[in-house]
């Protein structure tokens, strides 16, 4: 919900029902991390009554490409969804490949989201170690997978406030 206020915006921690269908685009490069992120997505969607489609890609670089294809299919009337959640993990290695993957996956994800007006919750973890990834991903509904659904839900609500419930 979009609200105008005199003070700083407030975050609402309690989930409320939201009739929405989202795409869960998951890079399963680190399967154990992906499983933890998915746990949070599924729990938060269930708590809100949201539905989702699960799309699996090999790695984080493929996530924006799938989002762009889905957005094009939506524009053509071949697919229906209200938003998307991006799930993945990139762990720093010994080469510059980490920077290339992080920069491009996040840049093109946000560029596609903005250009195609798709509310996106981003849970592509960018970390130095596997232990850092686990710490961010675990926790079910309180982990980064749940955070991404909450971000996506808030963006869907904002879009609907601007354009009406059918947006």
For residue range 6-18, list pLDDT tens digits in order. Answer: 433 334 455 788 9
Distance (Å, whole) CA 144 – CA 118: 19
Q: Is residue 26 part of a domain?
A: yes
* Amino acid 164: pLDDT: 76
The model's pLDDT over 31-60, given as tens digits with 9 standing for 90+, comes to: 999 999 999 999 999 999 999 999 999 999
106 near 122, Cβ under 8 Å?
yes
Q: Which residue in the list 12, 16, 54, 97 is annotated as catalytic?
A: 97
The answer as to whether 33 is a domain residue is yes
Check if 97 is active-site.
Answer: yes
Q: Is 139 left (phi over 0), alpha (psi -120 to 50) or beta?
A: left
Is residue 135 assigned to a domain? yes
In a domain, 3, yes or no: no
Which residues are CB-neighbours of 4 under 8 A, at least 6 positions away?
none
In-domain check, residue 5: no
Q: Are 102 and 93 in contact (CB under 8 A)?
A: no
* Residue 129 within any structural domain of the chain: yes
147 within some domain? yes
Percent of the chain with pLDDT over 70: 89
Domain that holds residue 65: 21-162
What's the whole-model pTM score? Answer: 0.88
CATH number at residue 147: 3.40.50.960
Distance in angstroms (rounded) separating the CA atoms of residues 37 and 144:
6
Number of domains in the chain: 1
Q: What pLDDT digit, counting tens, does each position of 114-163 carry?
A: 999 999 999 999 999 999 999 999 988 999 999 999 999 999 999 999 98
Is 37 inside any structural domain? yes
């Amino acid at each position: 919900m979009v609200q105008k206020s005199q003070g700083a915006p407030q975050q609402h921690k309690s989930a409320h029902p939201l009739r929405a269908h989202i795409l869960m685009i998951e890079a399963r490069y680190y399967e154990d991390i992906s499983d933890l992120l998915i746990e949070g997505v599924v729990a938060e969607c269930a708590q809100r009554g949201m539905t989702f489609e699960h799309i699996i890609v090999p790695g984080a670089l493929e996530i924006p490409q799938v989002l762009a294809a889905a957005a094009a299919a939506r524009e053509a009337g071949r697919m229906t969804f209200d938003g998307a959640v991006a799930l993945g993990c990139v762990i720093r290695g010994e080469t510059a490949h980490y920077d290339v993957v992080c920069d491009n996956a996040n840049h093109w994800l946000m560029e596609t989201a903005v250009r195609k007006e798709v509310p996106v919750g981003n849970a592509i973890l960018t970390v130095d170690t596997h232990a850092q990834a686990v710490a961010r991903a675990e926790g079910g509904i309180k982990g980064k997978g749940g955070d991404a659904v909450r971000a996506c839900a808030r963006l869907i609500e904002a879009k609907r406030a601007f354009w009406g419930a059918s947006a």
